[in-house]
Amino acid sequence: MTIQDLHFDCVHFRGDIPCRPNKQSGMTCPNCTEYQPISKRILIIKLGALGDVIRTTPLIEAYRKLYPGCHITWITTYPDVLPANSIDSIRTFSFEDVFIVTKQSFDIAINLCKDAEAAILLAECNAIEKRGFIWNDGHVDIANTESEHKFMTGLFDQYSKENTKSYLQEIFEICGLKYDNESYVLNVEQRLLDSFSHIKKDASNKIIIGLNTGAGSRWPTRLWPIEHWKQLINMLQADGYAPLLLGGPDEHEVNTMLQQETGAMYAGSYPVEQFMAIVSQADVILTAVSMTMHIALGLGKKMVLFNNIFNKHEFDVFGLVEIVEPSTGCECYYGTVCSRSISCMHDITVEQVYQAIIRQLQ
């Protein structure tokens, strides 16, 4: 065999290390029975936020169905949440990886971020077809007409409030795809699931209710009052359920306090890979719109979802979610500061949330 015998266009070709067919079966070019030429080279730019990266993963299944044998490269700031088994090349937003991506050629390049750096990256990429948001004449612009709807709803609250399309409908439209209820792709390593399997034992085989007490530091207007969390934990415990506190570094202090005062379970604050394994232990999740929401959806968990400042039509809930909103409404659309003296989140009662959790269990 010589270099002329190599199938550089094969989906399994790695460039510098043995491919999977060689490692598993010892097969080599040019007579490998698993040789499959790449049909399309596709680049997806979705840098963040973490939850948005997760909820963009249905594009993987859609492109695999449309272009069997396609090669997908994804560049992001959150590589750990992407399913490595479903994506051919995962790149970080670093100088080295950006340099490599901009020196490659793609059939299709999509940028779903409106940030300047992502738009400039799409402009710098070599691609026959570009979709999403691109840098043009010193500002973010649309690369194709199908991106106009999402671009405009992001610029004006009036348009955003009138929107009835979900996020997935919007991004599939941008990509020129038909959304067919493709779900999130989320892989949690078995070793991590095993390392947190003790949570179910600690719960004495009771039904576990995951309580995500935070909403991210960017949106304090979404926070449910601490006293409400305490009351809910007490109600759940009195009826034989096991509350499991969830959160990251921003919620660690509050969750530690709630654990000490109520006896609710709390595994601690962990990086996202371990956090996904912790969330997987719960039977039902209660959360505001957050990273936890998208992780729970990726895990196929039933959920009760707080919402006040967002358009609920933008959420893809796959029949798993009951949305709970303040009965008095909310005036702070996408607001980071509440316009009321007492936040509308106080108007979501403990009893209202408790009954929603029970309905999800049923």
Position 27 scores a pLDDT of 92
Q: State the burial class of residue 271 (Cβ atoms within 10 Å of its Cβ: 0-12, 13-18, 19+).
A: exposed
| CA–CA gap between residue 97 and residue 166 (Å, rounded) | 31
In a domain? residue 181? no
In a domain? residue 239? yes
Angle at 339 between CA 336 and CA 342, to 5 degrees: 105
| CA–CA gap between residue 86 and residue 321 (Å, rounded) | 26
In a domain? residue 191? no
In a domain? residue 148? yes
- Alpha carbon separation from 80 to 54, 75, 90, 275 (Å, rounded): 10, 12, 9, 12
In 3D space, the residue among 62, 75, 83 whose CA is nearest the CA of residue 109 turns out to be 75
CATH code, 98: 3.40.50.720
- Same domain for 71 and 204, yes or no, is no
Say if residue 30 is preceded by a cis peptide, omega within 30 of 0.
yes
- Same domain for 25 and 51, yes or no, is no
Q: What phi and psi values does residue 31 have, to the nearest 5 degrees?
A: -105, 20
Two tokens at 16? Answer: 């510098």
- Same domain for 44 and 164, yes or no, is yes
- Same domain for 254 and 287, yes or no, is yes
The total domain count for the chain is 3
Q: Cα torsion at 345, 350, 352, 355 (round to 10°)?
A: 140
- Same domain for 164 and 204, yes or no, is no
- Same domain for 46 and 20, yes or no, is no
In a domain? residue 292? yes
Q: 336: which DSSP letter?
A: S
Position 187 scores a pLDDT of 82
- Alpha carbon separation from 297 to 87, 139, 180, 302, 329 (Å, rounded): 20, 34, 17, 8, 26
Residue pair 181/169 in contact by the 8 Å Cβ criterion: no
Position 216 scores a pLDDT of 75
Q: 81: which DSSP letter?
A: G
- Same domain for 236 and 268, yes or no, is yes
CATH code, 276: 3.40.50.2000
Q: Whole domain around residue 27: which residue ranges?
A: 1-33
In 3D space, the residue among 294, 88, 267, 291 whose CA is nearest the CA of residue 193 turns out to be 267
Three-state secondary-structure class, residue 341: coil
pLDDT tens over the chain, length 362 residues: 889 989 988 988 888 899 899 999 999 999 999 998 999 999 999 998 899 999 999 999 999 999 999 999 999 999 999 999 899 999 999 999 999 999 999 999 999 999 999 999 999 999 999 999 999 999 999 999 999 999 999 999 898 989 999 999 999 999 999 999 999 998 888 899 999 999 999 999 899 999 999 987 778 899 999 999 999 999 999 999 999 999 999 999 999 999 999 999 999 999 999 999 999 999 999 999 889 999 999 999 999 999 998 989 998 889 999 999 999 999 888 888 988 989 999 999 999 999 999 999 99
| CA–CA gap between residue 175 and residue 132 (Å, rounded) | 7
- Same domain for 103 and 234, yes or no, is no
SS3 per-residue string spanning 114-176: CCHHHHHHHHHCEEEEEEEEEEECCEEEECCHHHHHHHHHHHCHHHHHHCCCCHHHHHHHHCC
In a domain? residue 184? no
- Alpha carbon separation from 220 to 73, 92, 257, 303, 332 (Å, rounded): 35, 29, 19, 21, 11
- Same domain for 25 and 44, yes or no, is no
Residue pair 37/7 in contact by the 8 Å Cβ criterion: yes
- Same domain for 134 and 218, yes or no, is no
| CA–CA gap between residue 19 and residue 75 (Å, rounded) | 22
- Same domain for 6 and 69, yes or no, is no
Three-state secondary-structure class, residue 187: coil
In a domain? residue 350? yes
Helices (H), 239-362: 252-262, 272-279, 291-298, 350-361
In a domain? residue 15? yes
**Which domain-ending residue is among 174, 209, 229?**
174
**Which domain-ending residue is among 139, 159, 174?**
174
How do 41-45 and 89-92 pair as beta strands?
A: unpaired
- Same domain for 24 and 157, yes or no, is no
Q: Cα torsion at 63, 69, 71, 77 (round to 10°)?
A: 50
